[in-house]
């Protein structure tokens, strides 16, 4: 076992890399010291960072509050403070890798997840904040349209509120289309990160199981997100998508250890980093170890799992209505964006 824990071993010996899941400067510095090569933010994390670091950013915050902006512009301007600070902190990684790594997410207004005419101009504004911004779009039909436009115009994106194989496949296809359009007109294509909110799928299916009184164990529920991720990973390798899978919303060490060795990115919150550094976890690649067929068979009793697991389980127009999507967008809005709008 390595002296510095499982996380360091995984970074040094496998293709798996990771992003830090927080916009707080002190937490981010610790994450960078531990080997993070990117940063995940969202309206909730940006709001927390602003409130916890008000004295540090007082001049910038006061400048925004003094402008009498409308609510949307105010939220966007405040979020910019936290995001661009993170972008500066990870800029050295972006420079060292020549743009391969070192990105920071900036999420569009979660209240406008179906509005292409709002999201695309917002994406262009965020792109101008710093060279290493990944514009965070929802994996909805509208978000996918904006993804393709961004890729074609050289804007890097991260597709969030994504929990399912149909969503990751759609992201891969639309990014590929955008890349082809960019190359046809001599533009460097925008990169794309296809998020799988692995633990949020488990959380949603757990509620479905309890509500329907289905005979499915907690152990099976905890492998639902893993099954979706492993299947998405297999499809990405088979089809050669250039979008990169980014696994977020971990609920335990198993969400990382069972995917170790995969050529993907893990987004890890500080609360999870500590256990991955300190614990004597097994140092072995497990991405090719399948979720048992018996588990899949039991999970298939849930129509909502089938929709998530089968590549054709949903059409893009159905993504916005999927239960986990609505739940997550509401959380981003109510305890993130709206709090930025009301920031005093």
What's the pTM? 0.97
- Token representation of residue 152: 């074609």
User: Phi first, then psi: what are they for 106, rounded to 5°?
Assistant: -130, 115
Q: Would you say residue 280 has pLDDT above 90? A: no
Contact (Cβ atoms closer than 8 angstroms) between residue 258 and residue 289: yes
Rg (CA), the chain: 19
**Per-residue confidence band for 278, with pLDDT thresholds at 50, 70 and 90:** confident
The contacts of residue 234 (CB under 8 Å, 6+ apart) are: none
Residue 4 pLDDT > 70:
no
Residue in 105, 116, 230, 239 with CA at minimum distance from that of residue 169: 239
CA distances from 332 to 42, 274, 327, 338 (A): 7, 25, 9, 9
Mean pLDDT within 212-217: 96
Q: How confident is the model at residue 197 (pLDDT cuts 50, 70, 90)?
A: very high
> Per-residue b/e over 128-143, b at no fewer than 16 CB within 10 Å?
ebbebbbbbbbbbbbb
Number of independent structural domains in the chain: 1
CA atoms within 13 A on the CB side of 33: 10
pLDDT at 12: 92
Q: Please report the pLDDT score of residue 335 as a whole number.
A: 97
pLDDT over threshold 50, residue 74: yes
pLDDT of res. 189: 98
Task: Report, as an integer, the average pLDDT of 224-228.
Answer: 98
Strand runs labelled E in the chain: 17-21, 38-40, 103-107, 133-138, 157-160, 192-197, 244-248, 265-268
Residue 243 belongs to domain with CATH number: 3.20.20.70
Q: According to the model, what pLDDT value does residue 2 have?
A: 44
pLDDT at 65 over 80: yes
Residue 3's pLDDT band, with cuts at 50, 70 and 90, is low
Q: Could you tell me the two tokens for 223?
A: 């492998």
Say what the pLDDT of residue 5 is: 87
Two tokens, residue 250: 């971990």
Mean pLDDT of 183-204: 98
Is residue 47 predicted with pLDDT exceeding 90?
A: yes
Range of the domain at 112: 5-341
């Amino acid at each position: 076992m390595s002296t510095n824990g499982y996380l360091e071993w995984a970074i040094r010996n496998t293709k798996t890399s990771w992003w830090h899941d927080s916009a707080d400067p002190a937490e981010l510095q610790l994450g960078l010291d531990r080997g993070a090569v990117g940063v995940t933010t969202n309206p909730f994390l940006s709001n927390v960072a602003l409130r916890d670091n008000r004295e540090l950013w007082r001049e910038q915050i006061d400048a925004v509050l003094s402008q009498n902006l409308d609510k949307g512009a105010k939220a966007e301007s405040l979020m910019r403070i936290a995001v661009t600070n993170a972008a500066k902190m990870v800029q050295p990684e972006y420079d060292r890798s020549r743009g391969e790594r070192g990105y920071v997410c900036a999420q569009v207004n979660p209240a406008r997840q179906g509005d292409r005419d709002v999201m695309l101009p917002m994406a262009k504004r965020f792109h101008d904040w710093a060279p290493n911004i990944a514009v965070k779009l929802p994996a909805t039909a509208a978000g996918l349209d904006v993804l393709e436009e961004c890729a074609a115009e050289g804007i890097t994106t991260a597709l969030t509120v994504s929990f399912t194989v149909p969503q990751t496949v759609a992201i891969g296809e639309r990014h590929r289309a955008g890349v082809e359009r960019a190359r046809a007109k001599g533009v460097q294509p925008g990169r794309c990160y296809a998020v799988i909110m692995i633990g949020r799928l488990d959380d949603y299916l757990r509620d479905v199981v309890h509500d329907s009184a289905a005979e499915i164990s907690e152990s099976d529920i905890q492998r639902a997100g893993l099954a979706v991720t492993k299947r998405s990973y297999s499809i990405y390798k088979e089809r050669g998508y250039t979008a990169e899978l980014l696994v977020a919303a971990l609920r335990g060490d198993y969400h990382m250890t069972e995917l170790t060795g995969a050529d993907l990115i893990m987004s890890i919150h500080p609360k999870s980093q500590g256990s991955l550094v300190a614990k004597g976890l097994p140092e072995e690649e497990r991405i090719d170890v399948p979720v048992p067929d018996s588990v899949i068979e039991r999970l298939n009793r849930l129509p909502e799992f089938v929709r998530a697991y089968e590549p054709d389980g949903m059409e893009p127009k159905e993504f916005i209505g999927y239960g986990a999507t609505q739940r997550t967008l509401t959380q981003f809005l109510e305890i993130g964006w709206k709090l930025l709008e009301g920031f005093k």
